[in-house]
Structure 1
């Protein structure tokens, strides 16, 4: 059971970090897009209307919170059949279950 709990915790952290990496890549793409839009808007001749509000757009992007990405989470306590994929032929409910 100890090995199954360890494997469960590792799998949980890997899944969480993979989700964070995906969110980080998306935030990076959005930040690059916003920078391109901002650069284009500033290159327009006077009198052309650009985006209505640029106030705070950089501070609200997910990339600005990237400092929170590097901390692995503590896995929740396994419930029900959470350990089942890590037990092989053993039962999470005890030896009498099979």
Structure 2
């Protein structure tokens, strides 16, 4: 779809819409689908930290702590100034505030 319709305002594969779809699916309990969408978001918008944060949150919800930590570490690489991301990573690792 992206290749066929990109630039025609038919589908928006930007970070915001994909984040929204991911969050909506996750809230409905459709975690496998949410993970698929957020991974698409990471593929297209992987230079932004928030898709990695959402991926980490979904992976934690699915019980994949190792995957969640890796995704959160990538978010921190992209936004090293974020204390919030560091705190989230600490909680994911089972540290203080967990």
Query: TM-score, normalising length from structure 1?
Result: 0.25
Query: TM-score, normalising length from structure 2?
Result: 0.25
Highest RCO, 1 vs 2 (Cα 8 Å, sep ≥ 6)? 1
Q: Which of the two has higher C-alpha Rg? A: 1
